[in-house]
C-alpha cells in the first residue's frame, strides 16, 4: 500500500504575503505612526509572521473540504488578529485598575493610592536633579535620611526615625542590628504569618536572632517574659497580630509592663506595629495601634509601613531612641534596604499633611475610610441614574440595583471591622455573572469587582472620584460585548 499525501488545503494560496499585509496595515492604521522603517517595523513584521504561521497551521490541520473563505476575508481575519496582538504588546505590564472591591488597602491592587500633594512632589523630583544626598548649605555631600526625619520626629514625638524599603525590611534591619547571636523574647500568640510568606519566625532566623518563645498561643503573662530572660537576651519583641485576632480566653501584658521589664534588665523593647495609624481612627470604627502611643508608653523602637494606614508610598519606618537609630543607620544592610528619591518625596509630602492637620481631608485611603453609608448611598444612586440615562440610549440591557453591604480595611489591618456601604449590583440575562466579572476585569482600564449570589457587585467606596466616568464607560463597553 502506498501513502498518498493529502493535497494542500485550497485556501493556503489565498494567504497574503507578509509584505502585502504590512503595507495594508500601514495604510489602514496611520495612528500607529511610522511603520515603514526601523525597530517598530521589525516588531510588527514579527507579529504578522506569528499570526500568519498560526493561520497556516490551522488550515493545514483542517479538512480540505472546509474551505470557501475569500482572499479578502482571510486578509481581514489576519489583520484583526495582528491588531489585537499589537495592542496587547503596547500595553505596559503594570497598569492602573479600578478597585471596586471595597477593600481599601488591597495588597494585590497596590495598597494606598497617593494624595495629590504626594504625586506632585514625586513628579517634581522625578523631573530633574535633586539634593537627595547634597547639603545645600555647605555645598558638600549630605545624607539622604535627613529628608523625612524632622517631620516624623514631630508627628510621632520621637527622638529619631529612618525610612527603609518596607516594614518587612525595617523588622529585618532592627533585629539584625541588635540581636545577631542574641535572644529575642516573643509571645507564642504573636508568631504570625502576615501573608505573602512574611513569617515573623523566618525573618528572625534570617537576621541571626535566636527566638525565645514564651507563654501559650492564647495567654502570655509578664512573668513568662521575666522567667525567659538570660544573659543572652537582647530584646523583648511585640508584634501586632495584623489580620489575625485572638478572641475569648486571651491575655497579654500591657505595653507599660513590657517596657518597664525591658528597662529593669537593660533590654530593648521593640514593637512591630505593621499598619501604623498616625491619627486616631476610632471614630471610623478602626482601632489600630498608633505609633506615637507606643512610643510614649516607653517602647524603644517601633516599625510600621508607609503604604498601609499612613496612606503614602511603599516604605518601612523605624522610629524611636536616637542612640539606637544611630546604630541602625550605620548597619551595612542599610545600604541595601534604603529608599529612592521618589519614595522620600512622596512620603515627605504625605507626612506634611499629618503635620498640617489636613490628612483626613486629603489622603485618599483616609477619605475612603471616613465615607458614611449615607454619603455612599447618595453617590451610588446618582451613579445609577447616570448609568440608566446612558443605557437607555444604547443597545445594552442589564438589571442594575443598589444593595447594602460591607467594605473592608485590608492591608493586614482591622480584620474584624466591617464598614457599612452601599453596593452597585448588576446582572445580565444573556450571560453569567462570572462571565461579566471576567469581561470587566479585561476591559481597559480593568474593573475589579466581585461575584456574590449571581450578582456582580461594585463598591464605590474604593473607586476614586476621578475614576467614576471611566467605570461607567468601561461597564457599558463590557455589557455591550
Ligand X SMILES: *Cc1c(COP(=O)(O)O)cnc(C)c1O
The distance of closest approach from Cβ of residue 243 to ligand X in the complex, given in angstroms and rounded to an integer, is 7
Out of 176, 272, 348, 459, the residue judged to bind ligand X by CB under 6 A: 272
Q: Give dist(CA 361, CA 350) in Å, integer.
A: 12
CB 51 within 8 A of CB 7: no
198 binds ligand X (CB under 6 A): yes
Say which residues have a Cβ less than 8 Å from residue 71's Cβ, sequence separation at least 6.
Answer: 14, 16
Which CB sits closer to ligand X, 59 or 315? 315
H/E run at residue 427: strand 419-427
Q: Give dist(CA 275, CA 189) in Å, integer.
A: 18
Binding mask 321-360 for ligand X (x = CB under 6 A): ----------------------------------------
Which CB sits closer to ligand X, 253 or 412? 412
DSSP state of 97: -
What count of other Cβ atoms lies within 10 Å of the Cβ of residue 434? Answer: 11
Which CB sits closer to ligand X, 181 or 197? 197
207 binds ligand X (CB under 6 A): no
294 binds ligand X (CB under 6 A): no
Backbone φ, ψ for residue 322 (5° rounding): -60, -45
Window of 98-106, 270-278, 353-361, 459-467 that interacts with ligand X by CB under 6 A = 270-278
244 binds ligand X (CB under 6 A): no
Q: How many residues bind ligand X (CB under 6 A)?
A: 15
The DSSP-derived string for 288-314 is PPBHHHHHHTT-SEEEEESSSTT-SSS
Per DSSP, which regions of 293-418 are E strands?
A: 301-305, 316-320, 399-410
Q: Give dist(CA 355, CA 333) in Å, integer.
A: 30
What count of other Cβ atoms lies within 10 Å of the Cβ of residue 298? Answer: 14
Q: Give dist(CA 118, CA 111) in Å, integer.
A: 15
Which CB sits closer to ligand X, 117 or 272? 272
316 binds ligand X (CB under 6 A): yes
Window of 73-81, 162-170, 287-295, 369-377 that interacts with ligand X by CB under 6 A = 162-170
Binding mask 387-426 for ligand X (x = CB under 6 A): -------------------------x--------------
194 binds ligand X (CB under 6 A): yes
311 binds ligand X (CB under 6 A): no
The distance of closest approach from Cβ of residue 345 to ligand X in the complex, given in angstroms and rounded to an integer, is 19
368 binds ligand X (CB under 6 A): no
Window of 63-71, 134-142, 235-243, 401-409 that interacts with ligand X by CB under 6 A = 235-243
The distance of closest approach from Cβ of residue 154 to ligand X in the complex, given in angstroms and rounded to an integer, is 22
274 binds ligand X (CB under 6 A): yes
Pairing outcome for strands 268-274 and 301-305: parallel
CB 305 within 8 A of CB 339: no
Q: Give dist(CA 277, CA 374) in Å, integer.
A: 25
305 binds ligand X (CB under 6 A): yes
Q: Give dist(CA 4, CA 154) in Å, integer.
A: 87
Which CB sits closer to ligand X, 194 or 346? 194
Q: At what angle do helices 71-90 and 18-28 cross, to 10 degrees?
A: 70
The distance of closest approach from Cβ of residue 251 to ligand X in the complex, given in angstroms and rounded to an integer, is 20
Window of 113-121, 133-141, 250-258, 267-275 that interacts with ligand X by CB under 6 A = 267-275
Which CB sits closer to ligand X, 275 or 407? 275
167 binds ligand X (CB under 6 A): yes
Which CB sits closer to ligand X, 194 or 471? 194
312 binds ligand X (CB under 6 A): no
Which CB sits closer to ligand X, 47 or 258? 258
The CA–CA distances, whole Å, from 261 to 80, 105, 240, 300, 425 equal: 72, 35, 19, 12, 54
In 3D space, the residue among 304, 292, 396, 262 whose CA is nearest the CA of residue 354 turns out to be 292
In 3D space, the residue among 341, 361, 428, 305 whose CA is nearest the CA of residue 127 turns out to be 341
Residue nearest to ligand X (CB): 274
Site residues, ligand X (CB under 6 A): 166-168, 171, 194, 198, 239-240, 242, 272, 274-275, 305, 316, 412
Amino acid at each position: 500500500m502506498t501513502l498518498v499525501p493529502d493535497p494542500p488545503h485550497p485556501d493556503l494560496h489565498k494567504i497574503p504575503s507578509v509584505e502585502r499585509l504590512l503595507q495594508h496595515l500601514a495604510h489602514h492604521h496611520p495612528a500607529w505612526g511610522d511603520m515603514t522603517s526601523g525597530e517598530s517595523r521589525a516588531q510588527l513584521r514579527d507579529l504578522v509572521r506569528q499570526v500568519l504561521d498560526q493561520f497556516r497551521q490551522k488550515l493545514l490541520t483542517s479538512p480540505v473540504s472546509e474551505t470557501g473563505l475569500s482572499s479578502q476575508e482571510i486578509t481581514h481575519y489576519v489583520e484583526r488578529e495582528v491588531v489585537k496582538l499589537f495592542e496587547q504588546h503596547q500595553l505596559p505590564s503594570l497598569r492602573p485598575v479600578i478597585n471596586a472591591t471595597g477593600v481599601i488597602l488591597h495588597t494585590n491592587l497596590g495598597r494606598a493610592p497617593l494624595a495629590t500633594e504626594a504625586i506632585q512632589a514625586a513628579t517634581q523630583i522625578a523631573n530633574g536633579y535633586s539634593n537627595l544626598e547634597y547639603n545645600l548649605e555647605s555645598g558638600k555631600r549630605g545624607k539622604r535620611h535627613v529628608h523625612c526625619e524632622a517631620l516624623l520626629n514631630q508627628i510621632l514625638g520621637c527622638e529619631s526615625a529612618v525610612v527603609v524599603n518596607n516594614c518587612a525590611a525595617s523588622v529585618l534591619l532592627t533585629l539584625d542590628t541588635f540581636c545577631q547571636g542574641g535572644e529575642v523574647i516573643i509571645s507564642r500568640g504573636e508568631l504570625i504569618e502576615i501573608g505573602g510568606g512574611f513569617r515573623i519566625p523566618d525573618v528572625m532566623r534570617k537576621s541571626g536572632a535566636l527566638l525565645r518563645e514564651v507563654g501559650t498561643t492564647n495567654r502570655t503573662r509578664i512573668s513568662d517574659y521575666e522567667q525567659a530572660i538570660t544573659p543572652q537576651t537582647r530584646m523583648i519583641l511585640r508584634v501586632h497580630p495584623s489580620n489575625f485576632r485572638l478572641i475569648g480566653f486571651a491575655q497579654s501584658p500591657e505595653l507599660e509592663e513590657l517596657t518597664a521589664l525591658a528597662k529593669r534588665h537593660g533590654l530593648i523593647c521593640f514593637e512591630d506595629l505593621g499598619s501604623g495609624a498616625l491619627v486616631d481612627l476610632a471614630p471610623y470604627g478602626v482601632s489600630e495601634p498608633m505609633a506615637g502611643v507606643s512610643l510614649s508608653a516607653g517602647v524603644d523602637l517601633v516599625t510600621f509601613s508607609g503604604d498601609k494606614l499612613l496612606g503614602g508610598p511603599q516604605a518601612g519606618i523605624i522610629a524611636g531612641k536616637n542612640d539606637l537609630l544611630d546604630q541602625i543607620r550605620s548597619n551595612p544592610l542599610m545600604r541595601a534596604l534604603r529608599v529612592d528619591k521618589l519614595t522620600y518625596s512622596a512620603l515627605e509630602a504625605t507626612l506634611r499633611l499629618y503635620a498640617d492637620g489636613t490628612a483626613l481631608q486629603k489622603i485618599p485611603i483616609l477619605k475612603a475610610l471616613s465615607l458614611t453609608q449615607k454619603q455612599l448611598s447618595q453617590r451610588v444612586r446618582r451613579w445609577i441614574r447616570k448609568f440608566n440615562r446612558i443605557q437607555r440610549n444604547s443597545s445594552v440591557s442589564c438589571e442594575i440595583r443598589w444593595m447594602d453591604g460591607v467594605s473592608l480595611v485590608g492591608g493586614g489591618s482591622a480584620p474584624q471591622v466591617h464598614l457599612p456601604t452601599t453596593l452597585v449590583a448588576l446582572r445580565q440575562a444573556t450571560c453569567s455573572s462570572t462571565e461579566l466579572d471576567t469581561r470587566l476585569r479585561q476591559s481597559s482600564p480593568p474593573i475589579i469587582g466581585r461575584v456574590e449570589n449571581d450578582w456582580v457587585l461594585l463598591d464605590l467606596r474604593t473607586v476614586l472620584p476621578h475614576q467614576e466616568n471611566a467605570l461607567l464607560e468601561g461597564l457599558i463597553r463590557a455589557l455591550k460585548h
